[in-house]
């Protein structure tokens, strides 16, 4: 037994030493910020705002790399396999960590969230909303539901990826609407926006930053936010609940994760840098202009929040 304990101790010591050597060797190397969705969506937009500020905070170049596909899982696989040198992080919505972990086997995911990933910081929060394209022909949610009961083409709704909260919300909508809603997955909010504006689908679930400007232009109809209360950034948009459809599980957030192999001191540097950035009024104003809310939480709070959602 002692020989096995020795080997385990030696392996852990070697891993820590390797991580430290990587960090020292890459102190001035560019930092990669992976985004698991196509350009043009909320995650991409906010990641680029964050990267711009991180360059000053860290004194290093920070590059946003879009790796779209599988609801963010391709980027997560890259994060897991990255070197533990503090040069690779991922900016992502909360649902990449939650729903694939709950719904898919580890052999499909190719990573274990609880073992392979380390939360760094929450950056923004926002409500998911249900929006209609012009092809829906509905001026509000109640009219949409009535029309969807008669026309199956209106029961298809777009989402920003497979295995995400939007599929779960579709199940709730089916129950509350009395209509079988079917998800059409895209590779990010940017593609969902294009699908709605191009009348490829009748409706979609999105973050507000990707679509609100088009509701003001009346190209898109905001059927409502999927939250318990109206959102302060857009108080004129009702919730689904106040319209008689009790779907309130659309509270969402985005943050930064690292591989669990990344040395703790490197993750702490990134967490501190993000905390400083989110406190800056200039950054907050830029984020608010994208119709999401800047909100910092540290690694421990983010870890607790995700685990609470996994155990919900």
The pLDDT value recorded for residue 10 is 47
Length of the chain: 312
Q: What per-residue string of b and e applies to 181-200 under the rule 16 or more CB within 10 Å gives b?
A: bebebbbbbbbbbebbeeeb
Mean pLDDT value of segment 262-290: 96
Position 239 pLDDT exceeds 50: yes
Among 56, 66, 55, 57, which Cα is nearest to 30's? 55
Which pLDDT belongs to residue 210?
76
139, 189, 128, 132: which is closest to 155 by C-alpha?
132
The sign of the dihedral angle between the CA atoms of 306, 307, 308, 309 is positive
Residue 4 has pLDDT above 60, yes or no: no
User: Could you tell me the two tokens for 117?
Assistant: 């990933």
Domains of the chain (ranges; CATH) run: 2-126+252-310 (3.40.190.150), 129-249 (3.40.190.10)
Judge whether residue 17 has pLDDT over 60.
no
Q: Which tens digit of pLDDT belongs to each residue from 212-225?
A: 889 989 999 999 99
pLDDT for the residue 6: 40
DSSP labels for 255-269? EEEEETTS-HHHHHH
Would you state the pLDDT for residue 21? Answer: 55
Residues 89-121 pLDDT 10s: 999 998 888 878 887 888 888 899 999 999 999
Residue 5 pLDDT grade (very low, low, confident, very high; cuts 50, 70, 90): very low
Please give the C-alpha separations between residue 45 and each of 56, 65, 73, 165, 306, in angstroms, as whole numbers: 18, 12, 19, 20, 23
So what's the pLDDT on residue 272?
98
pLDDT exceeds cutoff 70 at 7: no
| pLDDT tens digit sequence for 158-209 | 988 776 788 788 889 999 999 999 999 888 888 899 999 999 999 999 888 8
Q: Containing H/E element for 205?
A: strand 203-206
pLDDT tens readout for residues 122-145: 999 999 999 999 999 999 999 999
pLDDT higher than 50, residue 72: yes
Per residue in 19-68, pLDDT (tens digit) is: 455 545 566 799 999 999 989 888 999 999 999 999 999 999 999 999 99
Output the six-digit token pair for 12. 């852990």
- pLDDT tens-digit map of 284-309: 999 999 889 999 999 999 999 899 88
């Amino acid at each position: 037994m002692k020989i096995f304990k020795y080997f385990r101790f030696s392996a852990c010591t070697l891993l820590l030493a390797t991580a430290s050597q990587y960090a020292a060797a890459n102190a001035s190397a560019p930092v990669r910020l992976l985004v698991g969705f196509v350009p043009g969506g909320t995650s991409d937009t906010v990641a680029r705002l964050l990267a711009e500020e991180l360059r000053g905070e860290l004194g290093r170049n920070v590059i946003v790399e879009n790796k779209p596909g599988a609801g963010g899982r391709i980027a997560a696989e890259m994060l897991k396999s990255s070197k533990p040198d503090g040069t690779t992080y991922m900016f992502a919505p909360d649902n990449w960590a939650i729903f694939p972990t709950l719904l898919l086997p580890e052999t499909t995911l190719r990573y274990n969230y609880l073992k392979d990933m380390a939360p760094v910081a929450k950056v923004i929060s926002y409500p998911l909303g249900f929006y209609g394209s012009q092809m829906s022909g509905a001026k509000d949610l109640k009219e949409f539901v009535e029309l969807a009961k008669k026309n199956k083409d209106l029961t298809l709704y777009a989402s920003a990826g497979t295995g995400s909260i939007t599929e779960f919300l579709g199940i709730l909508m089916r129950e509350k609407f009395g209509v079988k809603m079917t998800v059409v997955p895209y590779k990010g909010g940017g593609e969902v926006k294009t699908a709605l504006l191009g009348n490829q689908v009748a409706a979609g679930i999105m973050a507000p930053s990707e679509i609100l400007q088009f509701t003001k232009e009346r190209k898109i109809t905001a059927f409502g936010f999927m939250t318990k209360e109206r959102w302060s950034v857009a108080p004129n948009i009702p919730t689904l609940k106040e319209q008689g459809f009790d779907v309130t599980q659309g509270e969402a957030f985005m943050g930064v994760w690292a591989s669990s192999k990344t040395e703790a001191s490197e993750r702490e540097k990134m967490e501190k840098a993000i905390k400083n950035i989110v406190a800056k009024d200039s950054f907050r104003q830029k984020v608010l202009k994208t119709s999401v809310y800047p909100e910092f939480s540290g690694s421990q709070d983010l870890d607790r929040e995700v685990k609470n959602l996994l155990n919900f």
